[in-house]
Amino acid sequence: MPAVDPFRAPGRWYRACLHAHTTSSDGQMPPESLVRHYRQAGFDVLAITDHWHVTDASERSTDDFLVLPGIEYNARGAGVGHLSSFHVVGVGVRDADTEANAPPAFVDAIHAQNGVAIVAHPSWSGLDAADLLTAAAADAVEVWNAGCELEVARGDSSPQWDAALSRGAVLGGVAADDSHFPGLDSARAWVALRLAALTPENVLAALRDRCYYASRGPVLHAVEAEGDTVRVACTPARAIHVLGPPTAGAGLNAGVMGLAHRAERRRREDSWAEGTTDGELLTGGTFHLPPSARWLRVVVEDASGRRAWSNPLWRTAQGWAAEP
Ligand SMILES: [Zn+2]
Ligand SMILES: [Zn+2]
């Protein structure tokens, strides 16, 4: 299925939680309370992903709030070794596959039910890029997991994602709460999905097509790449970076002494996107990549250190595209 550029797709943005637990596994809230909680927190979509258990509360969906069934698998059985903490989340799954016992089988089981497979919290799991590549058929990886950050400061899996991308993996990046204690570890990370309308089919298609970006707060308005030039527009940020293969990145930092590497600040008179500069902070910029950059992705960091992450773009014979 062709990937879609979320910044050019028709429709509007919807906020989704793709990873959360209830009392059906080790979460503290029953499903009906968790649905109310996320709805009140301003989300539009909640996928409930209990360990080895499909919690289906989709009857609680309304016109303006969608509840999707889901599951979280973890590797188990003899000889699984350090991979016992290798977890894979399935969104849109209706039945647990109790025979599956390893990450590639989890991904297959999720896809067999037309679900979306997400490798959960690689940093928390102690996974390296080679481990990730064993589940490279997955749709995405959690670049940020709020619960893992709060509990053990292993929320960020950017290095594993980048290494896998540099080795040819085609994986989206999501941010997720992985909430077990709603109120303490919820509404801290999400994906902004670009949808023509709020339906389960559209949510799953957008996740498959990487028609979204991940965030803990900042809003991405535009990511445009042409030739060796990338333009970004966003809410006020203290740093904007365009990442690529090793040594190929570019970045802008806010402030009069803010370092610019292969980049220029966006100026008030620039007309290519909405907005202006915001005091010392950045609301966009123009970045220049070396020809060695075969893929790129954008990270924006606000004044509090919260980030937003675009999905990757790949350099193709027809120019930059949302798939290789
Ligand atoms: Zn997990
Ligand atoms: Zn979890």
20 Cα: distance to centroid of ligand 2 (angstroms): 6
198 Cα: distance to centroid of ligand 2 (angstroms): 24
Residue pLDDT tens, the chain, 324 long: 346 789 999 999 999 999 999 999 999 999 999 999 999 999 999 999 999 999 999 999 999 999 999 999 998 877 788 788 999 999 999 999 999 989 999 999 999 999 999 999 999 999 999 999 999 999 999 999 999 999 999 999 999 999 999 999 999 999 999 999 999 999 999 999 999 999 999 999 999 999 999 999 999 999 999 999 999 999 999 999 999 999 999 999 987 778 899 998 866 555 544 444 455 789 899 999 999 999 999 999 999 999 999 999 999 999 999 999
Q: What are phi and psi of 43, to 5 degrees?
A: -80, 160
Residue 59 lies in a domain: yes
Residue 6 lies in a domain: no
Together in a domain, 190 and 251: no
Q: What is the pLDDT of residue 83?
A: 82
Q: What is the pLDDT of residue 153?
A: 98
223 Cα: distance to centroid of ligand 1 (angstroms): 31
Q: What is the pLDDT of residue 1?
A: 38
Q: What are the residue ranges of helices labelled H in 167-258?
A: 200-208
Q: Could you tell me the CATH number of the domain that includes residue 136?
A: 3.20.20.140
72 Cα: distance to centroid of ligand 2 (angstroms): 6
Q: Strand, helix or coil at 161?
A: helix
- From the CA of 121, which ligand is nearest? 1
- From the CA of 53, which ligand is nearest? 2
68 Cα: distance to centroid of ligand 2 (angstroms): 15
Domain that holds residue 227: 220-321
Together in a domain, 206 and 228: no
Together in a domain, 170 and 228: no
298 Cα: distance to centroid of ligand 1 (angstroms): 26
21 Cα: distance to centroid of ligand 2 (angstroms): 6
Report the distance separating Cα 293 and Cα 243, nearest Å: 9
Token output for 119: 């490798």
Report the distance separating Cα 205 and Cα 196, nearest Å: 11
Q: Are 140 and 118 in contact (CB under 8 A)?
A: yes
48 Cα: distance to centroid of ligand 1 (angstroms): 13
Q: Give the residue among 21, 2, 245, 241 at the shortest CA–CA distance from 120.
A: 21
Report the distance separating Cα 162 and Cα 146, nearest Å: 19
Q: What is the pLDDT of residue 257?
A: 76
Q: What is the tally of structural domains in the chain?
A: 2
Q: Are 63 and 103 in contact (CB under 8 A)?
A: no
Report the distance separating Cα 145 and Cα 179, nearest Å: 9
pTM of the model: 0.95
179 Cα: distance to centroid of ligand 2 (angstroms): 7
Last residue of a domain, one of 215, 245, 266: 215
246 Cα: distance to centroid of ligand 1 (angstroms): 29
Together in a domain, 204 and 258: no
4 Cα: distance to centroid of ligand 2 (angstroms): 28
Together in a domain, 149 and 38: yes
Q: Are 189 and 216 in contact (CB under 8 A)?
A: yes
178 Cα: distance to centroid of ligand 1 (angstroms): 7
Together in a domain, 175 and 200: yes
Together in a domain, 57 and 203: yes
11 Cα: distance to centroid of ligand 1 (angstroms): 32
Residue 48 lies in a domain: yes
Q: What is the pLDDT of residue 24?
A: 98
Together in a domain, 36 and 173: yes
148 Cα: distance to centroid of ligand 2 (angstroms): 9
Together in a domain, 154 and 239: no
Q: What is the pLDDT of residue 68?
A: 98
Q: What is the pLDDT of residue 255?
A: 79
Reported in sequence order, the residue ranges of the chain that DSSP labels E, i.e. its strands, are 12-17, 45-48, 66-74, 87-91, 116-119, 140-145, 172-176, 190-195, 212-215, 220-226, 229-237, 239-243, 250-253, 260-261, 263-265, 282-288, 295-301, 307-309, 313-316, 319-321
